[in-house]
């Protein structure tokens, strides 16, 4: 039976605050601070436990090999000899934000009746541009069943940042949907990371019906304010779109096109007068998981920062007091991820599929999470000071921690299995 599975990126042992992501205000403002990889990963485990307690299906994607020695070799250097900037880029744990792993189109939307996944190239940011081989290796393993079609990346220079700039709306997860690709053209002083050409290429690869596919421009105002991905200012689930008033360049046209294709669509728009973009972005109000619970109610899984912001919290309480489709608020603590620029929605990749068709090593329950937590508590560094990333002992600890994790989950083959395309 088709259902939604949230695959969370397990936060890796090299999690640190190097401030590499231009346009991501949280990441750059915390550059140079001491990170807590062990605490970060355990916060991610707790978030997954909370989703399981809600009755949701939960999976994982695993940390990549860091430092990325293959990438450094391609740059004719090695970790010891690399500049500090290259060291930081090679060590980044940013693959934890699984929303950037791929774009996913469920089987009901594709002309061949398969679930399609296209790995994101992430070419805009150097520290993320070398993620796709490691991600593709995992996707090909997790979704090897013929029910899936896994595609390589869109070629450069057409930037593709995956599901963070993609939404799907439908009457139900198993029903044919409307796929919405959000792209940018300008962002003030910040880069627009998603190219329309990349989104169009993904839609073609996924064999989507053009009549049920929308390409929508993100507003320059939102990007310039720090909404480096669409999922910082909008999220969709089922027939519900939850978005900021300033999320899209031409919201009236978008809403008209959407309701024309999906008359059942329900649009919850947060007015800028009630919650300004600065509050929406700093609290990650929209970088929440909007999920359908087993009883049919919808819940918004929010970071603690959204509850702590008085204006955001006040608006949410008014929304819940009404008779709208979002009936519950669930708060999670992902402070370590938030400080590096990623909220609850950044940490997960949504896949609508039959769980029986997924490699079970990538699915979790409470017992499996207990096993992962034990590895993290034993092997993950407690802290990382960015000034210490050249320490050979730290690098050895990081590499050994990942090997211990892969051994525990029975996927040691990922150590050397990196595809070229």
15, 64, 229, 379: the active-site residue = 229
pLDDT band at 31 (very low <50, low <70, confident <90, very high): low
pLDDT band at 417 (very low <50, low <70, confident <90, very high): low
Q: Is 346 a catalytic residue?
A: yes
pLDDT band at 386 (very low <50, low <70, confident <90, very high): confident
Q: Quick one: pLDDT at residue 173? A: 94
Q: Is the pTM of this model over 0.85?
A: yes
Distance between CA 306 and CA 198 in Å, rounded?
A: 32
Query: Can you list the domains of the chain with their CATH numbers?
Result: 3-415 (3.75.10.20)
Distance between CA 245 and CA 19 in Å, rounded?
A: 29
Q: Quick one: pLDDT at residue 339? A: 80
Q: Is 377 a catalytic residue?
A: no
Q: Supply 395's token pair.
A: 């690098």
Q: What is the pLDDT of residues 120-173, one digit of tens each?
A: 999 998 999 999 999 999 999 999 999 999 999 999 999 999 999 999 999 999
Q: Quick one: pLDDT at residue 301? A: 97
Q: Quick one: pLDDT at residue 421? A: 47
SS3 214: strand
Average pLDDT on 369-380 reads 98
| Segments in 104-247 forming alpha helices (H) | 126-129, 132-142, 196-205, 220-224
Q: How far is CA 317 from the centre of its chain?
A: 26
Distance between CA 320 and CA 325 in Å, rounded?
A: 9
Q: Quick one: pLDDT at residue 193? A: 84
Q: Supply 60's token pair.
A: 């994982």
CB 62 within 8 A of CB 366: no
Distance between CA 346 and CA 331 in Å, rounded?
A: 15
Whether 190 has a pLDDT exceeding 90, the answer reads no
Q: Quick one: pLDDT at residue 145? A: 98
161, 179, 217, 245: the active-site residue = 161
Q: What is the pLDDT of residues 251-301, one digit of tens each?
A: 999 999 999 999 999 999 999 999 999 999 999 999 999 999 999 999 999
Average pLDDT on 349-367 reads 98
Whether 418 has a pLDDT exceeding 60, the answer reads no
Distance between CA 10 and CA 205 in Å, rounded?
A: 28
Whether 28 has a pLDDT exceeding 70, the answer reads no
Q: Quick one: pLDDT at residue 228? A: 83
């Amino acid at each position: 039976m088709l259902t939604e599975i949230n695959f969370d990126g397990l936060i890796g042992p090299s999690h640190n605050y190097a401030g590499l992501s231009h346009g991501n205000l949280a990441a750059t403002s915390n550059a140079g601070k001491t990170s807590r990889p062990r605490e970060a990963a355990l916060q991610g485990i707790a978030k997954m436990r909370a989703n399981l307690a809600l009755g949701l299906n939960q999976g994982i994607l695993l940390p990549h090999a860091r430092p990325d020695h293959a990438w450094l070799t391609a740059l004719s250097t090695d970790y010891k000899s690399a500049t500090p900037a290259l060291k930081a880029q090679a060590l980044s744990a940013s693959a934890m934000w699984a929303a950037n792993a791929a774009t996913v189109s469920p089987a009901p939307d594709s002309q061949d009746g398969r679930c399609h996944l296209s790995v994101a190239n992430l070419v805009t940011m150097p520290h993320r541009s070398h993620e796709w081989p490691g991600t593709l290796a995992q996707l090909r393993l997790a979704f090897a069943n013929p029910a899936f079609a896994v595609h390589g990346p869109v070629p450069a220079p057409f930037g593709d940042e995956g599901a963070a700039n993609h939404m799907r709306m439908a009457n139900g997860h198993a029903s044919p949907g409307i796929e919405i690709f959000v792209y940018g053209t300008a962002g003030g002083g910040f880069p627009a990371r998603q190219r329309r050409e990349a989104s169009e290429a993904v839609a073609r690869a996924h064999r989507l019906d053009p009549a049920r596919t929308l390409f929508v421009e993100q507003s320059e105002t939102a990007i310039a304010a720090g909404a480096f991905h669409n999922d910082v200012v909008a999220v969709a689930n089922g027939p519900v779109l939850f978005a900021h008033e300033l999320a899209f360049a031409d919201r009236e046209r978008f809403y008209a096109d959407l309701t024309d294709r999906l008359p059942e669509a329900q649009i919850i728009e947060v007015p800028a007068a009630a919650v300004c973009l600065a509050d929406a972005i700093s609290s990650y109000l929209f970088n929440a998981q909007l999920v359908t619970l087993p009883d049919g109610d919808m819940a918004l899984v929010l970071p603690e920062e959204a509850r702590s912001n008085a204006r955001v919290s006040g608006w949410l309480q008014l929304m819940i007091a009404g008779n709208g489709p979002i009936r519950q608020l669930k708060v999670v603590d992902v402070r370590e991820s938030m400080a590096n620029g990623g909220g609850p929605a950044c940490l997960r990749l949504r896949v609508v599929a039959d769980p029986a068709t997924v490699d079970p090593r990538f699915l979790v329950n409470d017992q499996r999470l207990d096993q992962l937590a034990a590895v993290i508590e034993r092997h993950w560094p407690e802290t990382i000071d960015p000034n210490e990333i050249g320490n050979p002992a730290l690098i050895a600890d990081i590499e050994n921690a990942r090997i211990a994790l892969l051994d525990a989950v029975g996927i040691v083959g990922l150590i050397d299995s990196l595809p070229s395309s």
